[in-house]
Structure 1
Amino acid sequence: MGGALSLTLAALAYPSMLGLDTVSTSGDRIIANTQWGPLTESDRAFVVAVRAAGLWEYPVGFIGLQKGQSEGVKTASEHLIDGHAALDTTCRKIAPMLNITLPNVASPQQIGFVNSMNAKTGKDFDIEFANILRMTHGSIFNTVAKVRSTTKNTLVRALADQANDTVLDHITVMEQTGMVDFDQTLFQQTTPPKLPKSDMTPPPPPAGQPLIVLTPPPTATSTPVDIDAASVSGGGAAPAPAPTPTG
C-alpha cells in the first residue's frame, strides 16, 4: 500500500520519466499558459531534472575533492560544485513562478551512482567518477538541446541556455581527466538500462518541507540566470496558474 501510494504521488508531481531518459515524445502537452509562454510537460520535467541532477552531482563534487587522487578529478569536482550551485539557484527562482514542485532528493538511480562511487577508493574512484559523470552528462546533453530548440517558455529557455553551457563544461572536464573509456561510456549512454519509472524519478518532497539550497562556493565563477532579463517579455513575475488535473 505504502509503495503504491508513493508511486502515485511521484507520478502526480513528475508525470514524465526523468533521470537519463529523454523527454517524452508526448511531452508537448501544455499544462499551463503563463506570461512567459506556454509550459509543457517536457518543460516541467526538464526543470525538475536539472534540480535532481544537482542534488547528486553537487555532493559528488565534494566527495571528489576528498577522495580524488588526480588533479583532473579535483578540478572536475570543483566544476560540479560551481556549475550545479548556479543551476540550482536558477531552478529555485523560476520553479515558483511556473508553479513547479522541485524535489529535495535525487532519484534512486542517481543515488545508486553516488553509492557506486563511494564504494571505490584510490585510482578506482577516479575512474568510476570520470566515467559515470561523463556518461550521465552525455546522456542529458541531447535533451538540453531538444528543450532549448522547442520550448516556447522564456524562463525554461533561459535555464536551457545555462544548462547547455554547464553540461558541456562538465563533459569537457571529465574528458580532460584522461580516464574516460569512450567505448564503454558511449555504449552505456546510448543503451540505457530499462529501469522502472520509480527508479528514474526523484520523490516529491513532503508538504511544507523547505527546499535544500546548493550553496555556491566562495570562488564561484558560474552565474545563475538573470530572471529580470529573462522575463522582460513577460512584464512581471506572477506565478503560473495551477495545472488543471486530468483523468
Structure 2
Amino acid sequence: MKQMKDLRWRLLLLFVPLAFLVSCDDDDDNSDPNLGRLTAQEFVQRAAVSDMFEIETGNMALQKSTMQEVRDFATEIVADHTASSQELMALAQQKNLQVPTALPQDKQAIIIRLNGKTGVDFDKDFADVQEEAHEDAVELFEQAVEDLEDAELRAFAQKILPTLRMHLEHARELDDMTDAL
C-alpha cells in the first residue's frame, strides 16, 4: 500500500513539470507578422519560373504532340504565359527584383522526361504536367493576392489569376481526355 502511494507521488512529481512545459504558450505576441508571408522577390522568382516552364513545355507540345487539342492548349499557354512573363519582367525591373534566367533542376528534369516521349505517351504526360503546374501556379497567385504587400505585384497577380484558373480547367479536361486513350 505504501509503495503504491509512493509511486503515485513520484509520478505526480514527474508529470507536474511536464504539464507546465506543455501549457507554455509558444505564440509570442511580438512575433513578426510577416513571417511565412510571400515576399515580392519570392513571388517574382516563382512566377517567372512558372512562365518559363509553361512556355518551354508548350513549345515542346507544339512540336511533339499528335493531338490537335494538345496543340491548341499549347498555343494558348505559350501566348498567355509569354504575355504575363513580359509584364512580370517589366514590374521586376522597375522594382529591382531578380528574375531567374534558367529553370531549376526539378523543372529541367520534367522537360528532359517529356523530351524523351513521343505520340500518345507524350500527350498523356504533357497533360499531367500541365494540370500539376497550373495547380501550383493558381496556388501561388492566390497566395500573392492575399500576402503581397506590394500593391502593383498584388494587382498583377489578381489580373493573371483568372487566366491561370482557365488554364487549369483546360488542363484537367485535357488530362481526362488523354487518360481515356
What interval of TM-score do these two structures reach, taking the shorter chain for normalisation?
0.7 to 0.9
Name the structure 2 match of 1:66: 63
RMSD: 1.8
Q: Which has the higher helix share?
A: 2
The offset of 1:87, in angstroms, is 1.0
Q: Distance in 2 between matches of 1:176 and 1:87?
A: 23
Contact 1:64 1:73 in 2 (8 A): yes
CA contact (8 A) 1:134 1:174 kept: yes
- Counterpart of 1:161, as a letter, is Q
Query: Deviations 1:207-237 (Å, cap 9, x if unpaired)?
Result: xxxxxxxxxxxxxxxxxxxxxxxxxxxxxxx
Q: Give 2:35's aligned residue.
A: 26
The alpha carbon displacement at 1:134 in A equals: 0.3
Which secondary structure state, in structure 1, belongs to the residue aligned with residue 74 of structure 2?
helix
The answer to whether the 8 Å contact 1:134/1:180 transfers is no
- Secondary structure of the 2:72 match is helix
In 2, are the aligned partners of 1:87 and 1:162 still within 8 Å (CA)? no
CA contact (8 A) 1:46 1:147 kept: yes
Does residue 139 of structure 2 align to residue 130 of structure 1? no
- The 4+ residue runs of structure 1 with deviation greater than 2 A are 25-28, 178-181
Structure 1 residue 148: deviation in Å?
0.2
Q: Scaled by the length of structure 1, what TM-score is found?
A: 0.55
Q: Could you say which structure has the larger radius of gyration?
A: 2
Q: Which amino acid letter does the alignment assign opposite residue 94 of structure 2?
A: M
- Does structure 2 conserve the Cα–Cα contact (< 8 Å) formed by 1:50 and 1:87? no
Give the superposition deviation at 1:164. 1.0
Q: Percent identical across equivalent pairs?
A: 21
Q: Structure 1: 5+ residue runs without aligned partners? A: 1-24, 29-40, 182-247
Alignment pair present for 1:54 and 2:51: yes
SS in 1 for 2:39: helix
What is the count of residue pairs matched by the alignment?
145
Question: Does residue 144 of the first structure (1) align with residue 141 of the second (2)?
Answer: yes
TM-score w.r.t. structure 2 length?
0.73
Q: AA paired with 1:157?
A: R
Contact conserved, 1:67 with 1:122, CA < 8 A, in 2?
yes
Higher relative contact order (CA 8 A, sep 6+): 1
Unaligned residue ranges in structure 2 (runs of 5+) = 1-33
Match of 1:172? 169
| Alignment check: 8 A CA contact 2:131 2:172 kept | yes
Superposition map of 1:1-247 within 5 A:
26-28=35-37, 42-177=39-174, 178-179=176-177
- Structure-2 separation of matches of 1:78 and 1:116: 21
Cα deviation code 1:57-115 (max 9, x no counterpart): 10211111111111211111011111111111111111122110111111111111111
